[in-house]
Amino acid sequence: MRTTLLSSLAAASILAACATTKPVGIPAADMGLQRGPVLETAVPPKLVVNNTAPGDAPLPARSWAGVAPVVPHAIADFVPIAVKENACTGCHSVAAKEKGGPTPIPRSHNVDDRNEPGKVATKLMEARYVCVSCHVESTGAKPLVRSDFRP
């Protein structure tokens, strides 16, 4: 009984304090990630289409260790990736990197991390089959929002 009474008094005190506190307004320009008027639709910059052929552009630097590399060439002719057709594997299923040649699919893509971690299979795992789930085409686009992420 005493605990209930004390809890009720504490709740009443908090409610009374909140009722007398004046709300603080936040300017619309300070809301959201774009740091601009919330009710206006920002126009994104025009996308620059990548028309580079495979082998014509250098591999972009990775943002941090362990991130999937960006595809330096256009991919429009290689998608969609279907169950019986993956144009990426046609070029990238090589044993070793040669000068001017495609980057080999890493052995990690032949490991079933869910069921048999550590066991390297002879074929690409189904979870890694749709390359564009992790690898994106290089476009040279500037970020739409600033990021302070540091690995």
Q: Do residues 94 and 110 make contact, with C-beta atoms less than 8 angstroms apart?
A: no
Q: Do residues 37 and 29 make contact, with C-beta atoms less than 8 angstroms apart?
A: yes
Instruction: For the chain, 151 residues long, give each residue's pLDDT as a single digit of tens.
Output: 678 877 888 777 787 777 666 777 877 767 767 666 667 777 777 888 899 999 999 888 888 888 999 999 999 999 998 888 999 999 999 999 898 889 999 999 999 988 999 899 988 998 899 999 999 999 888 777 778 888 7
Distance CA 100, CA 14 (A): 69
Q: Would you state the pLDDT for residue 89?
A: 92
Distance CA 99, CA 56 (A): 12
Distance CA 36, CA 26 (A): 13
Closest CA to 134 of 63, 83, 28: 63
Q: Would you state the pLDDT for residue 30?
A: 72
Is the torsion defined by CA of 121, 123, 129, 135 positive or negative? positive
Q: Do residues 49 and 73 make contact, with C-beta atoms less than 8 angstroms apart?
A: no
Q: What is the CA 50 to chain-centroid distance, rounded? A: 19
